[in-house]
Amino acid sequence: MSAEGTRPSVDAELKVGQTRNLIIATLASVMGFWAWTIIGPLSSRYSQAMDLTAGQTSILVAMPILVGSVARVPVGALTDRYGGRVMFTAILGVTAPLVLLTAIVGQLNSFGLLVFVSFFLGIAGTVFAIGIPFCSAWYEAHRKGFATGVFGAGMVGTAVSAFVTPRIVAGLG
């Protein structure tokens, strides 16, 4: 059977679940980006509570961004090997306890522990390297740009972090 003979079934297989997967991946991206940048909106609170210098605050805020940017390379390779579902699950599964740990360590007022947790929060910034190949694989060539654009909207998680995190902390302590 020629490649053209199998084309309709391939297109039909791509359409099954593509919208659901795109929505779930975008929501996962929002959560990942929120976690990745959660230290930034809390930095002034940490700075005051721990009497941090400007340099210490900069290290605290930059740590997850730096780690997430560099870690995208190996996470992208792992995504190629194990797939987006496995990697989304692994990365978000590691990230959730780190967010809770950020709250606990913040209460301890320990700069060293906070930098340590901040380092590992950088893992959350790798969701982009997972989602782009995951989402584009579900769409035909002429729709891949649409899929990656919708997934890219998940970067709104950084804005969610900036607006919502301080309010949650103010409300819950």
Q: In the prediction, which pLDDT does 98 show?
A: 95
pLDDT in tens, 114-134: 999 999 999 999 999 999 998
Q: Is the pLDDT of residue 99 over 50?
A: yes
Q: What is the pTM of this model?
A: 0.84
Segment 50-69 mean pLDDT: 95
Residue recorded with tokens 């301080």: 166
Segment 97-113 mean pLDDT: 92
Q: Give the domain ranges of the chain.
A: 3-159
Mean pLDDT over each residue of the chain, to the nearest integer: 89
Topology (CATH level 3) of domain 3-159: Growth Hormone; Chain: A; (1.20.1250)
Contacts of 45 (CB under 8 A, 6+ apart): 106, 166, 169
